[in-house]
Each structure stands twice: as C-alpha cells, then as structure tokens.
Amino acid sequence: MNYPNGKRTTKTLKLNQKQKPDFSNRGMTLEEDINETNAYYLREGIAVVHKKPTPVQIVNVNYPKRSAAVIKEAYFKQASTTDFNGVYRSRYIDFEAKETKNKTSFPLSNIHQHQIDHMKAVQEHGGIVFLIIKFTPHDEVYLLPSPTVFTYWDGQWDGGRKSIPYDKVQEKGILIPFHYQARVDYVKALDKLYF
C-alpha cells in the first residue's frame, strides 16, 4: 500500500480473517480505568466516588508569561490516605487501588502504615473499606475486602508473609471483569459482599 508521503508499508493486510480483540494492553492504568468507571457511575446515578487529591505545597513557580505558569518546586504537605472515597447505596466507601507485576503475590510493601491506619479507622466507623488489586501479568483485577488485607498486614509483624498470595486473592477476593463503560465495575463486587 502506498501512503501520500510516498512510502510503502511492509505490512500485508489479511482480509476476511477473524481476529480476537486484544485487551492485554488497553493503554490505561488501573487508576485511569477506575476514574472512567467512577465518571460512568456518576452519570448513571449509581454512586458518587472521586479520587482524593494529594495535598501539595507549592514553593516555587516560574511565570515566563501569564498563560504559562510552571511549577518548579513543590512538596507533599502530608502523607495521603487512600486513593478513592465516596458513597454507594447510602454507605461510605473508601479504597486503595494498586497494580503489581508480580505473578504469584501482592507485596505488602505496596501499602503504607498510614493507609492501613486510615482504612482501619474508616471500618471502625462503619465504612466499607477494600483494596482493588490488578495483577498485570494475568490482566486480572480483584476487589479484596479489608479483613483479608488487615490479616496479612498484621501477620507480617509476627513473622508471617510480607505478601498476599495470588491464590488467596483469588479465594478471598472477587474478580472484576473488564467492561466497556464501567471498566472496573467494582460495585457489583460490593453488592455480593455487603448488600
């Protein structure tokens, strides 16, 4: 095939050949997929969930011209808590989203103590708390309820594992299949667990 620039393509086109859609590299991160899902939930009146902004202290800004301010130096004001929070079916929900390239487990080093402390406080006040974990090698996303997360987190300090095994995530969590509009349709998993 010749293109307008005069160059030829080396690829041959195969007509009438069925190809399976490839979802392995959708070009989106887990966080972006959840943001798209939350926008869909909001539009459809399903839930109100937003990403929490990370508090930042801006120290130095360069103004080469009025319309093009550039932040040169900034610092995090405080450690952030979890990624997302909101309301679903009149209940407060709060969760962290994490991706791992590990095939066999989810490393607990991906979570921080202040996040666990926050999650435990929310749970103590009746909120629904969970992790959404994406195992990128398997292209699978799971909702893992907080009791399982807390069991492994607390256990690591008593000589236990420093990760949650993949098979335990499969057993204790709920697989969230990819969908077009609600890409990470986690409310269906919440319905199974809590409603």
Is 81 annotated in some ligand binding site? yes
Q: What Rg, from alpha-carbon coordinates, does the chain have?
A: 21
Both tokens assigned to 85: 């929070």
Per the annotation, does 83 bind a ligand?
Answer: yes
Asked if residue 97 lies in contact with residue 115, where contact means CB atoms within 8 angstroms, the answer is no
| Residue of 145, 194, 151, 141 lying closest to 172 (CA atoms) | 145
Exposure letters 76-93 (e unless 16+ CB within 10 A, then b): eeeebbbbbbbebeeeeb
**Which residues sit in the known binding site for Mg(2+)?**
81, 83, 96, 115
**Which residues sit in the known binding site?**
81, 83, 96, 115
